[in-house]
Amino acid sequence: MPDTTDADGLTVGQVSARLGVTVRALHHWDDIGLAQPSLRTAAGYRLYTAGDLERLHRVVVYRELGLGLDRIRTVLDDTTTDVLGALRAQRTQVAERIGRLQQLGAGLDRMIEAHERGPLLTDGQQAAVFGPGWDPDGPARARRRYGDTTQWRQYAERSASRGAEEWQAVADAVAGLDRALGEAMDAGVLPGSPEANRLVERHREVFASYFPLTRQMQVCLGRMYEADPGFAAHYNGIRPGLAMWFRRIIDAGARAHGIDPDTATWDGAQEEWR
């Protein structure tokens, strides 16, 4: 490789800036013989001629199309290579990748929307699934209150993948649990009994449709079911006194697993994951 002055070619830094590739990449392509500079300065620095730059430009284009370096070398140097066929094959792969990215984009749109408003259902769909008493503004209020929590993010992730049929299954499971609670209370099921504990576990399983529920978190929910006017009205509307009875069977179930309901906290539930 002949020596020359800087005026006869472009330095590695100049080529890097012009083509938008790193100096490291240019050195690597030189080392493997893919795109080598034709000139060197007296001090041994690389210099690229106009012809070198043209080859480098083609390398960059093919690399952006997704061809590997070995394939690029074949396309550039092997006169027997079907360049058009290679490009068409690469075009097919690019189209497939675009399709996957579009699906990913649509999924991200659904996730964003779910984070913003919960169930991705129209008001009419929500009323049909959750009943005429369903308040479409409820999820928005919940987001304002809980939107920064881990549980809201988990709820949104589940919401993003659910349609009306999946939400109907959730609503049916909740309604079935409510009926079972009322029937158990009517039958005189005692807190701490095997049947009561099975209902407590069933509640955790049903509630997992929204987000994972530890037993400490469940104790906190039990308190809220009894103390919150809206929740208390719901459960006591099923059976008078059901809100208190439900809280009592949750507390008894927690004690069976070594949890003191009087000291259980929502944040303390993290200990259960360890």
Set out the domains of the chain in order of their start, with CATH numbers: 10-81 (1.10.1660.10), 107-257 (1.10.490.50)
What's phi and psi for 246, nearest 5 deg? -65, -45
Closest Cα partner for 206 from 195, 196, 218, 194?
A: 218
Distance between CA 90 and CA 145 in Å, rounded?
A: 49
| pLDDT tens by residue, 127-165 | 888 887 777 777 778 888 888 888 888 988 888 888 999
User: Across residues 13-17, what is the average pLDDT?
Assistant: 95
In this predicted structure, what is the pLDDT of residue 232? 95
Say yes or no to pLDDT of 44 above 50: yes
| pLDDT tens by residue, 177-232 | 999 999 999 999 999 999 999 999 999 999 999 999 999 999 999 999 999 998 99
**What is the bridge-based pairing of β-strands 3-4 and 39-41?**
parallel
